[in-house]
Structure 1
């Protein structure tokens, strides 16, 4: 009974985070904010869903598969999000008007991979 309630809570929390990620993908102003939303909320949501499945279907094989899937998800999703955002920056995707600081300097595409240097 308690295990089923805990699994239901994890599944509900995971699906809620995935839904928040989908809303962020639609509503956020630029590609960089969207990448952040998907990389963080969706990977954490999927991890919670997998942990909920582990509670519903206990066993060492299930545990092994879930641990491997969660580890791979938490390792690869932020790297993939970073790579996509970097590719968008290098391709010249515009920043949202609300963005106040571009740490690579200049307009998108001019800064390259080098950090901006002050001339003072």
Structure 2
């Protein structure tokens, strides 16, 4: 039985490491901020979850409570950080508004009374 758990653990660890590697490559290769935010959050979160699951299988779920806390922390912080980065890029004008298909934040800013909005010019160098 230990041999089967070792194989399952190794597969989960390798899948998690591959997901993290692909996310890192996406951060380097993708052209704009929204795509990079996707590459920075989705595969990284999946990779960490798979690595933690592989670790739990390897430890035979002995310290599952600690790993569950790490999973919850990862699931709570990753989307929040991504949202903060995207909003700050939008507010500073780093994000090109003319490339957005739907600009819900501009509508929200108008509703809140901020008529100035972010700059809509070209990307700063």
State the TM-score, normalizing by the size of structure 2.
0.77
SS at match of 2:43: helix
CA contact (8 A) 2:97 2:103 kept: no
How far apart are 1:45 and its partner, in Å?
0.3
The match for 2:12 is 10
5 Å-filtered alignment, 1:1-120, equals 1-60=3-62, 62-95=63-96, 99=99, 101-104=101-104, 111=106, 113-114=108-109
Q: Structure 1 residues 23 and 104 mapped into 2: Cα distance closer, same or farther (>3 Å)?
A: same
The match for 1:108 is none
How far apart are 1:56 and its partner, in Å?
1.0
Q: CA RMSD in A?
A: 2.2
CA contact (8 A) 2:9 2:54 kept: yes
Name the structure where helix makes up a greater proportion of residues.
2
CA contact (8 A) 2:19 2:47 kept: yes
Q: What's the CA shift string for 1:15-67, capped at 9, x where partnerless? A: 0110110011001111221112111110110110011011111243x111111
Question: 1 CA distance for matches of 2:59 and 2:5?
Answer: 10
Which consecutive residues of structure 2, in runs of 5 or more, have no partner in the other structure? Answer: 112-125
State the TM-score, normalizing by the size of structure 1.
0.79
Number of aligned residue pairs: give it. Answer: 109
Moved more, 15-24 or 87-96: 87-96
SS at match of 1:114: helix
